Amino acid sequence: MNYKNFKSVDKCVFGRGSFSQLREIIDAKKKSEDDYFVFLLDDVFAGKPMEHNLPLQNGDKLILVNVDKEPTTDQMDALTAKVHSFGKLPAGLIGIGGGSVMDVAKALSMLVTNEGPATQYQGLNLIKNPAIYKVGVPTLAGTGAEVSMTAVLTGPVKKLGIKCEYTMFDQIILDPNLIADAPIEQRFYTGMDSYIHCVESLTGTKNNAFSMAFGEKALELCKDIFLDPFTSREEADDKLMIASYMGGLSLTYSEVGVCHALSYGLSFVFGTRHGIANCIAFDKLEEVYGEGVIHFRRMLSLNSVTLPKDLAKDWTEDEISKMADVAYALEHMWIHAYGNDWKEKVNKEKIMNWYKMM
């Protein structure tokens, strides 16, 4: 098929306080008395009001998910074994957290119904059996993981998503109250993921009217959020949730580009988190993204965020070469950024040079 036949999230609730509707929403999915749900909660909320206010009922299980590192295939295998140890499969999973927990919930919903290790399913359309019902409740906004067809996992040999129709959430709940207390820097880095998705989506060869409609609007929202000093935090949080959503949709019908390719290398070799890794890379890409980078730098300074500097001086040639290999292998991103003849414009040495600037 030449054109992607993509699946959307089935249902979406948006609004302040909408998280309180969660129980009613999942109850409607219960088919028998002994049906239960598994709540996957980012362990940053352990002991916090969020944990105490979860609408757990008889039989429901709570699993605290640690995302100090971005989700790994090993972590997914352990979680799959844990859910299998409950006996009967849950009627649904509810993932509550940032992009990492969104991906954990998406991956787990498929791995519990498909035998074997997670590594076996990293790639496109490798999942055989349908997933179980899942709900995504973001507590950070920007990645678009709540609307994407990918559950990104780091394995021993690659950082690659499980990507197929079954990955999509059946339901998402976008409640801006839940992102209100995110630390300023984390909020910024995750928010910039959305901004960078838009810039990359809009500037490459795969851009089209569909991705442009979502990308341009999301970009406008990002500018209101991060460049307009008159936007209140409340208004900004509302807009950020929608920018994440629309940025994600823009990508669905386009592609990410040079920044994400470099960022994947950083994450794979040094475990740098996606949001900050993007920012470190994007700052060095004025040659590619021009005005997008100039605006980005203004956002950094207006939001009093300082990027780590001179990282490359502690990197070995080997590490830089490894990162460049990871980045170079992401051919779809290069094709999007430079066209089918990208190899005439970018080589490994050029990629290594970008890393050396960081």
**Residues of this chain that bind ligand NAD (CB under 6 A):** 42, 44, 67, 70-71, 97-101, 103, 139-140, 143-145, 148, 150-152, 179, 181-183, 186, 190, 193, 273-275
Q: Which does 183 bind (CB under 5 to 8 A by kind): ligand NAD, Zn ion, none?
A: ligand NAD
Of 190 and 201, which CB lies nearer to ligand NAD in the complex structure? 190
Q: Which does 176 bind (CB under 5 to 8 A by kind): ligand NAD, Zn ion, none?
A: none
Beta pairing partners, 63: 40
Helix, coil or strand: residue 47: coil
Q: Which does 145 bind (CB under 5 to 8 A by kind): ligand NAD, Zn ion, none?
A: ligand NAD
> How far, in Å, CA of 24 to CA of 145, rounded?
24
Q: Which does 44 bind (CB under 5 to 8 A by kind): Zn ion, ligand NAD, none?
A: ligand NAD
According to DSSP, residue 68 is labeled S
- Order the strands of the 123-124 sheet from edge to edge: 123-124, 159-163, 150-154
Beta pairing partners, 245: none
- Residues 133-158 as b/e (b if ≥16 CB within 10 A, e otherwise) read bbbbbbbbbbbbbbbbbbbbbbbeee
Binding site for Zn ion (CB under 5 A): 193
Q: CA 81 from chain center: how many Å?
A: 24
> How far, in Å, CA of 321 to CA of 311, rounded?
15
> How far, in Å, CA of 174 to CA of 166, rounded?
21
Q: Which does 140 bind (CB under 5 to 8 A by kind): Zn ion, ligand NAD, none?
A: ligand NAD
Name the minimum Å distance from CB 345 to ligand NAD. Answer: 26
Of 165 and 181, which CB lies nearer to ligand NAD in the complex structure? 181
Name the minimum Å distance from CB 163 to ligand NAD. Answer: 9
Q: Which does 175 bind (CB under 5 to 8 A by kind): Zn ion, ligand NAD, none?
A: none
Residues with Cβ within 8 Å of 358's Cβ and at least 6 positions away in sequence, in order, are 266, 280, 281, 283, 284, 311, 312
Of 150 and 352, which CB lies nearer to ligand NAD in the complex structure? 150
> How far, in Å, CA of 133 to CA of 347, rounded?
43
Find out whether 302 and 226 touch, Cβ atoms under 8 Å: yes
Of 170 and 193, which CB lies nearer to Zn ion in the complex structure? 193
> How far, in Å, CA of 241 to CA of 185, rounded?
17
Helix, coil or strand: residue 10: coil
Of 178 and 352, which CB lies nearer to ligand NAD in the complex structure? 178
Q: Which does 273 bind (CB under 5 to 8 A by kind): ligand NAD, Zn ion, none?
A: ligand NAD
Tokens 């959020």 correspond to 225
Name the minimum Å distance from CB 260 to Zn ion. Answer: 6
Of 176 and 248, which CB lies nearer to Zn ion in the complex structure? 248
Name the minimum Å distance from CB 175 to ligand NAD. Answer: 11
Of 215 and 275, which CB lies nearer to ligand NAD in the complex structure? 275
Find out whether 250 and 218 touch, Cβ atoms under 8 Å: yes
Name the minimum Å distance from CB 159 to ligand NAD. Answer: 7
Name the minimum Å distance from CB 149 to ligand NAD. Answer: 8
Name the minimum Å distance from CB 157 to Zn ion. Answer: 21
